[in-house]
Structure 1
Amino acid sequence: MTRLVLIDGSSYLYRAFHALPPLSNAEGEPTGALFGVVNMLRATLKERPDYVAFVVDAPGKTFRDDLYPEYKANRPPMPDDLRAQVQPMCDVVEALGMPILRVPGVEADDVIGTLALAAAGEGIDVTISTGDKDFAQLVRPGVALVNTMSGTRTDSDEAVIAKFGVRPDQIVDLLALMGDAIDNIRGVDKCGPKTAAKWLAAYDSLDGVIAAAPEIKGKVGENLRAVLERLPLNRTLATIRTDVPLDVGAADLRLREPHVETLRALYTRYGFVQALKELDGGSANGVVPARAAIGRAGSGFVAPAATAADAALDPALAAPGAYEAIFDAAALEAWIARLREAGIFALDTETDSLDPLRASLVGVSFCCEPGRAAYLPLAHDYPGVRAQLDRDQALDLLRPLLEDAAVRKIGQNGKYDLHVLRRHGIDVAGYADDTLLESFVLDSGRARHDMDSLARRELGFQTTAYAEVAGKGAKQIPFSQVAIDDATGYAAEDADVTLRLHRVLSARLEAEPGLLPVYRDIEMPLVGVLARVEANGVLLDGAELRRQGADLGRRMLELQQRATGLAGRSFNLDSPKQVCALLYDELKLPMLVKTPKGQPSANEEALEAIADLHELPRVILDYRGLAKLRGTYTDKLPEMVNPETGRLHTSYQQAGAATGRLASSDPNLQNIPIRTEDGRRIRTAFVAPPGRKIVACDYSQIELRIMAHLSQDAGLVAAFEAGADIHRATAAEVFGRRLEEVTGDERRAAKAINFGLMYGMGAFGLARNLGISRGEAQDYIALYFSRYPGVRDFMERTRAHAREHGHVETVFGRRLWLEYISRGTQAQRAGAERAAINAPMQGTAADIIKRAMVSVDGWLQPHRERALMILQVHDELVFECEEGFVDTLLAEVTARMTAAAELRVPLVVDSGVGDNWEQAH
């Protein structure tokens, strides 16, 4: 099973500090706590988790300080010897490849709690590595605690009861009664863990204890009654939040490749001999590098083209570079002449923001020869800084070069740089290569294509970390305040490494004639298109979203009240444990869906399975659906409008999915639910300004058409060529009906089969989808294949090809690697086989809409004042257009979308026009 380990970093550090003697290295630096942490981390990584996070407290106050100003007020300051070991600890953690998480406004416990429950809900096995008793409240199926120092594991109700005398759901009440001297939470005087556990055994909960307070005798009863008013606050302070809004999930926490040389330097400095031996004897974090395990004899998996990690590195590309700063016009003009003469150079920008649509330029770096690069500082502003070229003057000198299409530019995720330079009046032309996209096209299955990872993997080059020049956490300074000497080494290195990577990756691409057109004809032309779409943005009706948010809030309250009435008592609709207890223990509803460990589940699938048996599950589902809409869209989107443009701007990632599908973020506009009326209402807030319209153009059943093309099945091809309703046509074939005799249920079944087979659905999944027996579902599938034998033959050929070659391809040659197609567990192999069927269709659909975007954008450029492409969502393109230009736009866009691929069956585009996005459907 997939495993996530969440490490309580603060707990690690303090426990190691107090448990170990005051050790020091040869230079007298304290190392005791660091030594303990390193050993615990090594022990954790030897367990080979799939995902891991090292979670620490962010500086500043949290919501608990607002609730209770005296919270942790009596904690002594951190000892100097301990404080000196905090940064080295973070350095080791980062070098081991672990993500470090800090979230302002909440404690590390709340971040861990939120990640733990979310991951467990996805079927991931979660281990919380900590010695803090408070985390016992999170123990449940799929969530366990491990004390790495003592080696104990707490993973069940029985284990919690054995240790604390109460169930996991009573831990918070236990803590509220006992109080916590360390956190300055005053509990019931003289009430220790045994007394608190005895009360909870008798009265079940804190509310029960409070209600029974008048009858509790003795001095401890008096003490209880004296603090009754503060106990609910104690409970709130002790409750670990599990609903913290986070920008990351379990899938973002994959263990990175270790920085071996950094680890070696750190272990040597602090005298960790055993860690050094382990490092030199094998992988630093005990995890076999992804590509080291593939292509083995008998593995059945064929690795992608060799990378630098698999072959000898070129020492010249790993050597240190020589960098210079540019301070005057003459030096800049000399560099411009050098770059123009070279005809190709790497380019990188330094700014004051991660948001390219709000970032201001701090400097620019260039490189046209590996090992030699320059940095042009433009806005460094610390005391005593050396005079720099005026930014406008420097950009005027650069503009002819940067806007010259004949001089090729190279970048790493260069869309960011294009945005920044456009904000400063330069429309870069000749953006020819992007090392992120070169890597992605070569091996889309890799998790990381960032420059630091690529430099280690392809060059054996350890890049300078941003934190090395700008600091970390609360002490991090803006790049504009970084000393120019330090900034030059960092920024010029980025341009230098980008050029070096291009030398390696472009050579590998040239050796792959099947992949080269994907890169040259699809991915690279799309960079500028996406930059324009992102910059265009979309107009948002904030008042409409506020109205919707208010309506959702009112209905959520009504659903809460209705749920309370149905349950006969109040409960937390957001708590899976309370929902499970109510539905299965009290109402005795059957557990039709369980967790992977066989425990009760309260996820959407589980509630849907029993929604016809009682009214309450449907009420809970409706409540959760409204809460998600409100939290994700109606409340959040207005806050994300760019104050400079007054519009909402999403960001598209070309390397966001292995199939080539674009991913959208900040905000993600591809996940707006459209199957419900409330979800569709969200799109009514995406509007056109006066005098303009929203136009939406959507490919009709594109993946089914690609299936027909790839399978060449005569029946499917004939149905599409005739323009028939494909699901009705399939139903007629499968059920032996004339088209006009097909019932709605039969069409629904045929639709489930059509789409289910594309995603590798078997009889079990189809049966569950249609609410029929598995035998009936198997009969449906057999009938389908008897009527469409070409589809069955295509699926068998595709699986065989994937097992032999380790990959499948799209119509346009994009290669999709399937690591587990012939190895791993049975579940992994089955998943790879399903992906082998679906990936060519989904990947081809991605290629088609990308090609369409490039074609449409090329036509739109002379008409930018009249029409803009503003969104790409799945198989749909959305435009904002002058009313008088709509017919022209529809004709031209439809023609280009249908011509984006030559398939055996016609591509069909559905379109609509309206004052908002929803009306355009």
Structure 2
Amino acid sequence: MERLRRTLASPTIAPMSEQSTPRLLLVDGSSYLYRAFFAGGDAMSTTLPDGTVQKTGAIRIMINMMQKLLKDHPSTWAACVFDASGPTFRDALYPEYKQHRSPMPDDLRSQIAPIHEVVRLSGWPVLDVPGVEADDVIGTLAVAAASQGIEVLISSGDKDLAQLVNEHITIIDTMSGKVRDLAGVEAEFGVPARLMLDYQMLVGDSIDNVPGVNKVGPKTAVKLLQEYGSIDNLIAQADQVKGAVGENLRQALDWLPTGRQLLTIKTDCDLNGWVPGLPALDAVRMGEPQKEPLRAFYETYGFKGLAKALGGGEAAVPAAASAPVPGSTNDLFSDPASDIPRASNLAYDTILTWEAFDAWLNKLEAAELTAIDTETTSLDEMVAQIVGISFSVTPGEAAYIPLKHEGPDAPGQLPFDEVLARLKPWLENPARQKLGQHIKYDRHVFANHGIEVQGYAHDTMLQSYVLEVHKPHGLSSLAERHLGRGGISYEDLCGKGAHQIPFAQVDVAKAAEYSCEDSDQTLDVHRVLWPQIEADAKLKFIYELEIASSETLYRIERNGVLIDAPTLAKQSHELGQRIFALEQEAYEIAGQPFNLSSPKQLGEIFFDKLGLPVIKKTATGARSTDEEVLEKLAEDYPLPAKILEHRSLIKLKGTYTDKLAQLALPRTGRVHTHYAQAVAVTGRLSSNDPNLQNIPIRTAEGRKVREAFVAAPDHVIASADYSQIELRIMAHLSDDAALLRAFHEGHDVHRATAAEVFGIKPEEVSSEQRRYAKTINFGLIYGMGTFGLAKSLGIENAAAKTYIDRYFARFAGVKQYMDDTRALAKEQGYVETAFGRKLVLPDIKNAKGAKLAALERQAINAPMQGTAADLIKLAMVAVQKALDDQGKGTKMIMQVHDELVFEVPEAEVDWLRTEIPRLMAGVAQLKVPLLAEVGVGPNWEQAH
């Protein structure tokens, strides 16, 4: 069920046929081509006749975008405006202008000339005026047309253009569905369009590196403009503006005239030679597509579907571009990955009779792959009930079965139980392959009705996660990015906030369109993404692992973990008493009662009354009492230590001991967490509702919470986890001889490290030296530097540097791996796990200073975290298969980082102690042996 806030791709702007006035349509081509590129512009390539390999994804997507825009908004006059290469007056005025922008990717640069060519061949006037930015060309054309009473529609996502908006000029963002007319600008920015330049002068433009007034953000800018009416009035009365804002404003007075020149969109550019006869707009009249040159272009760049479509109808428009079905969203485009022409119309059926049901069931039985989507009563998969189901087996076709719609206008619907009973054999048939978007959710929904769906072969959310981990994976994002399609949002149907209605009350016709669209788009997205995965052996392995993990996680979530509510209640009471005692102790130290959660009162007590040193200040100049400051002060003073303990216990009580029992499902008495797969870029799982991975275990109170995770009668809890997994992965990846030797010989790796660093025999290593070595081992994995190590060990920076230097001298392979990984990440923009999962760092190529250092730390750590994530997923899948194959009663009930937790019948404990470590150690062959250890007890804490 795709619920996540999709917006309509085509904003509500009246089509030409509904308007009495002519229209000029202006496209911000530079914005379009960047969007086309980052929406998949590097995903396709072809070999040109001269043997050159040419990237074509941005070209293909640009064609899609331009065709759809013109279809939605046909116009007499139109132009696609690009930035020309070379400097403009702004560069001469301010040399730092746009200096922070990343250089254009080479794969995009190579597609610009073909994009210009195909847009021209499609009938669009194309403008790229030397020395004039695209915004200024657009501004000049827009104002000239508006002055003649012509309605102007600008298609761009650039907020800077909002200063042009008036009663004749409107901006649309076709990617987000945003409309910036007079009302839209004021609603979005808080100021009328006539004040947008003033607003921009105050806040600046970080993208173009144009400063504003220091520390004046959008809220402050709006407040100032509302109070003073304009920036000119504000400047005239700058002496009256109080506080830091006034001081910063006065310091910026000399700069603001320059800022105005840089930010003002020029509307009087000399376009002579580019737009002759501008008052009549003759040079920007929309032309006819040039059919034969277009055909040659399409064939050259491998767009066979587009070339074929030219022969059957209107030039340059694929077969899919015929009139939309009333009440549906018409997909205009061929499949961007394979260029397969789409069906000409969307055919969405609503199944209200058994005859229609049987016809579609026959389609499902005959289909090679079926996309399924459920509409439900809740986003909580453990309680959600089905309202309706949709299917799609062919692009452009789908059907919706309404089952629980209610209200006076709801049509007669087929009997709920009988429909599910007749679908159940097909749903539970593993030979009938199925597809979904977030299939784990739909598995739960069907299971709530006694149906265990088999045959789920694909999940578009996981396909996106494997292919493009750093991008959004919701269906609306995928459809926009890969299909050029928008769709109906859940809020469009149900409203939002207090006025939101249940899906069961949505008009059936609208619900059918919404759900059919989800199934149809899911099938289409799969047709784009799956060929890319299938063609890459590494990606295919990771994707198959994610699909198998989804199945196993479904089982873990379904099993849940039994919660001992009385134990939690007792712990909550004890924590409450300790929290109260800490408050009294804090009052005694401070010499007065105060609010322990108030930064203001803490500052007064700490710095005014007790004279504690000020560690740092906030952005507003106040003395900080944040967590970092408290930890530093707690090293020397008792009150900050009490505050830290008080905060940690309040969080523990509020998050876990008070709430866990409330989160248990009444019908099971168990907590059923949700494991999100497509979140962490490293491949790690995320647990939520409740988060079972963040229970603090470094304090006695935190560890006690795990005592409330118990086994059913005649069962025990078992915990199996990998021993020193990330260090073993480091040894594997770095090929360091000393680390490999330590693991192969079964040594205590921290003792072995201490012996190397301190130059002594392993048996001479003290517990303190071993602790130091352990901190160094794990710290370096996480990219810790000299300062961080010094802080962790409580030593001087010079001593920490000595330890690090000694470490790298003894473990030269680790040092080489880190250096090589930094260089590789910067060169290619990503790193990989041992199994080939790509961990993308999109900003590392152009990052500098502290940001680069942070990204380099991520690059070093990500392959280890990611490989550990891959290993635990492999282990989950292997263990679940063994449990199923051998008919065991043992259930996997949690996955927490590198640990698997089980509820085990007492009769199977001996089997588990032997088999689970063997299975976990055998899922992969690294250069060092994998070791898994098992603990058993009546509860989770005692199983450790």
Structure 2 length-normalised TM: 0.66
User: Which residue of 1 is the match for residue 376 of structure 2?
Assistant: 351
Counting only pairs closer than 5 Å after superposition, residues 173-322 of structure 1 correspond to structure 2 as 321-322=346-347
Task: Say whether residues 1:362 and 2:436 are aligned partners.
Answer: no
Q: 2:501 pairs with 477, 481, 485, which one?
A: 477
Q: 1:581 pairs with 590, 599, 604, which one?
A: 604
Which amino acid in 1 is paired with 2:766?
T
Shift of 1:165: 9.3
User: Which residue of 2 is the match for residue 148 of structure 1?
Assistant: 222
User: Which residue of 2 is the match for residue 398 of structure 1?
Assistant: 423
1:309, 1:458 within 8 Å by CA — same for their partners in 2?
Answer: no
Alpha-carbon distance in structure 2 between the residues aligned to 1:376 and 1:609: 61
User: Which residue of 2 is the match for residue 517 of structure 1?
Assistant: 541
1:346, 1:496 within 8 Å by CA — same for their partners in 2?
Answer: yes
1:851-885 Cα offsets, whole Å, 9 max, x none, are 11011111112566721100000000000011111
1:513-533 Cα offsets, whole Å, 9 max, x none, are 32111102x101111111110
Task: Say whether residues 1:807 and 2:881 are aligned partners.
Answer: no
Relative distance call for 1:97 and 1:661 in structure 2 (3 A) is farther
Q: 2:468 pairs with 408, 422, 443, which one?
A: 443
Counting only pairs closer than 5 Å after superposition, residues 826-841 of structure 1 correspond to structure 2 as 826-841=849-864
Alpha-carbon distance in structure 1 between the residues aligned to 2:895 and 2:342: 39
Relative distance call for 1:775 and 1:855 in structure 2 (3 A) is same
Shift of 1:594: 5.3
User: Which residue of 2 is the match for residue 766 of structure 1?
Assistant: 789
Alpha-carbon distance in structure 2 between the residues aligned to 1:730 and 1:601: 39
Task: Say whether residues 1:704 and 2:727 are aligned partners.
Answer: yes
Shift of 1:331: 1.9
1:819, 1:832 within 8 Å by CA — same for their partners in 2?
Answer: no
1:234-268 Cα offsets, whole Å, 9 max, x none, are xxxxxxxxxxxxxxxxxxxxxxxxxxxxxxxxxxx
Shift of 1:645: 1.7
Relative distance call for 1:846 and 1:437 in structure 2 (3 A) is same
User: Which residue of 2 is the match for residue 491 of structure 1?
Assistant: 515
1:357-395 Cα offsets, whole Å, 9 max, x none, are 101111110001010000011111212422211111111
Structure 1 length-normalised TM: 0.67
Which amino acid in 1 is paired with 2:604?
A
1:594, 1:601 within 8 Å by CA — same for their partners in 2?
Answer: yes
1:343, 1:406 within 8 Å by CA — same for their partners in 2?
Answer: no
3-state DSSP of counterpart to 1:642:
coil
User: Which residue of 2 is the match for residue 617 of structure 1?
Assistant: 640
Relative distance call for 1:881 and 1:142 in structure 2 (3 A) is farther
Which amino acid in 2 is paired with 1:848?
L
Which amino acid in 2 is paired with 1:501?
V
Shift of 1:511: 3.3
1:755-804 Cα offsets, whole Å, 9 max, x none, are 11111111111111111111111110110011111111111111121122
Shift of 1:595: 5.2
1:804-833 Cα offsets, whole Å, 9 max, x none, are 211110011000111222213422211111
Which amino acid in 2 is paired with 1:826?
G
Alpha-carbon distance in structure 2 between the residues aligned to 1:449 and 1:688: 36
User: Which residue of 1 is the match for residue 148 of structure 2?
Assistant: none
3-state DSSP of counterpart to 1:694:
strand
Alpha-carbon distance in structure 1 between the residues aligned to 2:428 and 2:535: 31
Which amino acid in 1 is paired with 2:737?
A
User: Which residue of 2 is the match for residue 409 of structure 1?
Assistant: 434
Which amino acid in 2 is paired with 1:653?
A
3-state DSSP of counterpart to 1:569:
coil
Shift of 1:93: 13
3-state DSSP of counterpart to 1:146:
helix
Alpha-carbon distance in structure 1 between the residues aligned to 2:216 and 2:766: 44
Task: Say whether residues 1:421 and 2:455 are aligned partners.
Answer: no
User: Which residue of 2 is the match for residue 555 of structure 1?
Assistant: 578
Task: Say whether residues 1:917 and 2:940 are aligned partners.
Answer: yes
Counting only pairs closer than 5 Å after superposition, residues 774-789 of structure 1 correspond to structure 2 as 774-789=797-812
User: Which residue of 2 is the match for residue 336 of structure 1?
Assistant: 361
Which amino acid in 2 is paired with 1:712?
D
3-state DSSP of counterpart to 1:652:
strand
Alpha-carbon distance in structure 2 between the residues aligned to 1:681 and 1:883: 23
3-state DSSP of counterpart to 2:634:
coil
Q: 1:875 pairs with 898, 912, 917, which one?
A: 898
1:128-172 Cα offsets, whole Å, 9 max, x none, are 99xxxxxxxxxx999995141534899xxxxxxx9999999xxxx
Alpha-carbon distance in structure 1 between the residues aligned to 2:619 and 2:868: 33
Alpha-carbon distance in structure 1 between the residues aligned to 2:216 and 2:687: 30
User: Which residue of 1 is the match for residue 680 of structure 2?
Assistant: 657
2:335, 2:483 within 8 Å by CA — same for their partners in 1?
Answer: no
Which amino acid in 2 is paired with 1:427?
E
2:753, 2:773 within 8 Å by CA — same for their partners in 1?
Answer: yes
Equivalent pairs counted in the alignment come to 655
3-state DSSP of counterpart to 1:919:
helix
Alpha-carbon distance in structure 2 between the residues aligned to 1:841 and 1:495: 37
Alpha-carbon distance in structure 2 between the residues aligned to 1:386 and 1:353: 22
Task: Say whether residues 1:537 and 2:560 are aligned partners.
Answer: yes
Relative distance call for 1:318 and 1:735 in structure 2 (3 A) is farther
Alpha-carbon distance in structure 2 between the residues aligned to 1:488 and 1:913: 51
Q: 1:461 pairs with 465, 485, 488, which one?
A: 485
1:490-518 Cα offsets, whole Å, 9 max, x none, are 11111001000000011222233321111
3-state DSSP of counterpart to 2:670:
coil
User: Which residue of 1 is the match for residue 45 of structure 2?
Assistant: none
1:538-558 Cα offsets, whole Å, 9 max, x none, are 000111111111111111111
Which amino acid in 1 is paired with 2:446?
L
Which amino acid in 1 is paired with 2:677?
Q
Between stretches 497-506 and 375-384, larger displacement belongs to 375-384
Which amino acid in 1 is paired with 2:525?
L
2:335, 2:528 within 8 Å by CA — same for their partners in 1?
Answer: no
Give the aligned CA root-mean-square deviation in angstroms: 3.4
Alpha-carbon distance in structure 1 between the residues aligned to 2:355 and 2:495: 33
Counting only pairs closer than 5 Å after superposition, residues 563-574 of structure 1 correspond to structure 2 as 563-574=586-597
Q: 1:431 pairs with 447, 456, 466, which one?
A: 456
Shift of 1:890: 2.4
Shift of 1:599: 5.7
1:650, 1:668 within 8 Å by CA — same for their partners in 2?
Answer: yes
1:431-488 Cα offsets, whole Å, 9 max, x none, are 0000000001001122x20011111111111111112222222222111111111111
Alpha-carbon distance in structure 2 between the residues aligned to 1:93 and 1:562: 57
Which amino acid in 2 is paired with 1:457?
R
User: Which residue of 2 is the match for residue 906 of structure 1?
Assistant: 929
Q: Which runs of 5+ in 1 are unaligned?
A: 1-24, 28-45, 49-90, 99-127, 130-139, 155-161, 169-307
User: Which residue of 1 is the match for residue 739 of structure 2?
Assistant: 716
3-state DSSP of counterpart to 2:671:
coil
The structure with more radius of gyration: 2
Counting only pairs closer than 5 Å after superposition, residues 581-600 of structure 1 correspond to structure 2 as 581-592=604-615, 600=623
Relative distance call for 1:478 and 1:400 in structure 2 (3 A) is same
Between stretches 770-779 and 380-389, larger displacement belongs to 380-389
Q: 2:868 pairs with 830, 845, 858, which one?
A: 845
Alpha-carbon distance in structure 2 between the residues aligned to 1:784 and 1:95: 55
User: Which residue of 2 is the match for residue 603 of structure 1?
Assistant: 626
User: Which residue of 2 is the match for residue 327 of structure 1?
Assistant: 352
Shift of 1:598: 7.6
Shift of 1:427: 0.8
3-state DSSP of counterpart to 2:435:
strand
3-state DSSP of counterpart to 1:610:
helix
Q: Which runs of 5+ in 2 are unaligned?
A: 1-17, 21-97, 101-172, 181-201, 204-213, 229-238, 246-332
Alpha-carbon distance in structure 2 between the residues aligned to 1:835 and 1:472: 38
1:655-705 Cα offsets, whole Å, 9 max, x none, are 120000000010111000000000001100101121110000011110000
Alpha-carbon distance in structure 2 between the residues aligned to 1:643 and 1:564: 42
